[in-house]
Amino acid sequence: MEFFAYFCSRFLHINTTAMFQRYQSSQHRLLWVVLLILFFGVSQPKAVSQTVSPGIDFFSGVDFNFRDINYKTQYEFLIRLNPGFKWDMGNHWQLSGQVLIPIVNQYGTEYSFFQINALNVSKEFKIRNLYLKATAGAFNLNTYGLDMKAFLPLCDWFAFEGQAGYVGFVFVSPRWEIVAPNRFVGTIGGDFYLPQWNTQFRGVFGRYLYRDLGFELEAMRHFNHTTASIYGRWSNNEGFDAGFRFIIALPPYHRKHRAVNVRPISNFRTSYSVMYNIYSNRMYKTDPEENERDGWFSRDFLQWGSHTMEPDFIIKDLRKQ
């Protein structure tokens, strides 16, 4: 409580002592109760989910990157295969792994060898209305360590989110090298979702992977199978940046689920940055198929935002049948 009071007074300039004194009066207590009912009372999500029995999925797709930073060349490309697996062990435990295998590499020698993009175990769980996901292992951007994600939907249209991690680096190329975990990272922010327009606004600030402090604002428009977004961000490393992003759920959209499944990767994601600030506002991803459209949590666990839309994939569970 002292920390909360200090945080409010130091960063938000809110006098918590006066706030709690006001709370003592019955009128303000009633106001708080009404607000809590408004936020929490209508926060039951729509049930647009489908559960499938545990199984293991093998998948692959293409990780497509291009950049335009060299005056002598039009574009430089980095195209990699990204095969991986996800083992759903039940009760929202998951073991996942993914590697990146270069096919076309014009980015440089550090990308000429395969990379580990994920090898971790995760668990989704819930405390009251707070959704949590803990992950341990290797993540993308050559990182490994511990990560915790939290999502608190207050109502259908607003939620708080936060992420915290303690990570180090592991490099496969050009030689094996492991840097012990040496940095705390974390972001906190909020999400607005307007269901009438399938539009989502996301704003977060925090300490990012390369020890920079910054914030990011993103506006997303969710369509059938596609999300398009524009974003702006600032970091004390490299200043302002902006760009756009496309996330496309890849067909087939009707799938059969067995104990062992082989399928294409769930989505194609490409992002464009005007300033190409690659050492700013960067945060690792823990899931091999993580993207801004689906968020951090699986669809059958958290129904909020785009998870209340029609699902991208209609899955027929043969094991249940």
Partner 1 sequence: MTTMKNLHILIALMVLWLLPQVGKAQQYTGTSGLIHVPSAEMYHEGDALIGAHFLNKHMMPDVGFIYLGKKYNTFDYYVSLAPYSWLELSYVCTERAREMDAQGNITKWSKDRYASVKIRPLKEGKYYPAVAIGCNDIWTAAYYKFDPNIQLYYMNWYIAATKHFNFSGNELGVTLSYRHFLRSYNGKWNGIVGGITFRPSFFPQARLIAEYTGNEFLLGMDMLLWQHLRLQASVKDFKYVNAGLCLQFNLLGKKYKY
Distances (CA, A) of 319 to 42, 117, 139, 258, 316: 35, 30, 31, 6, 9
- For partner 1, give the closer residue by CB, 146 or 242: 242
Residue 69 DSSP code: -
Residues 50-81: b if buried by 16+ CB within 10 A, e if exposed = eebeebbbebbbebebebeeeeeeeebebebb
Distances (CA, A) of 78 to 109, 138, 269: 11, 22, 14
Least Å from the CB of residue 139 to partner 1: 30
Number of residues in contact with partner 1 under rule CB under 8 A: 16
Distances (CA, A) of 258 to 53, 91, 129, 316, 319: 8, 17, 32, 9, 6
Decide the pairing of beta strands 84-90 and 76-81. Answer: unpaired
Q: Does 242 bind partner 1 (CB under 8 A)?
A: yes
Least Å from the CB of residue 75 to partner 1: 9
How many residues are listed for the chain in this entry? 321
252: cis peptide before it, omega within 30°? yes
Residue type, 132: L
- For partner 1, give the closer residue by CB, 38 or 69: 69
Tell me which of 39, 77, 192, 244 binds partner 1, using CB under 8 A.
244
- For partner 1, give the closer residue by CB, 309 or 318: 309
Residue type, 74: Q
- For partner 1, give the closer residue by CB, 6 or 223: 223
For partner 1, the binding residues in 201-230 under the rule CB under 8 A are: 221, 223-226, 228, 230
Least Å from the CB of residue 82 to partner 1: 23
Least Å from the CB of residue 224 to partner 1: 5
Q: Does 273 bind partner 1 (CB under 8 A)?
A: no
Least Å from the CB of residue 94 to partner 1: 30
Least Å from the CB of residue 249 to partner 1: 11
- For partner 1, give the closer residue by CB, 45 or 232: 232
Is the separation of the CB atoms in 100 and 112 below 8 Å? no
For partner 1, the binding residues in 40-79 under the rule CB under 8 A are: 68, 71, 74
| Residue 210: other Cβ atoms inside 10 A | 18
Binding region for partner 1 (CB under 8 A): 68, 71, 74, 197, 199, 221, 223-226, 228, 230, 242, 244, 272, 274
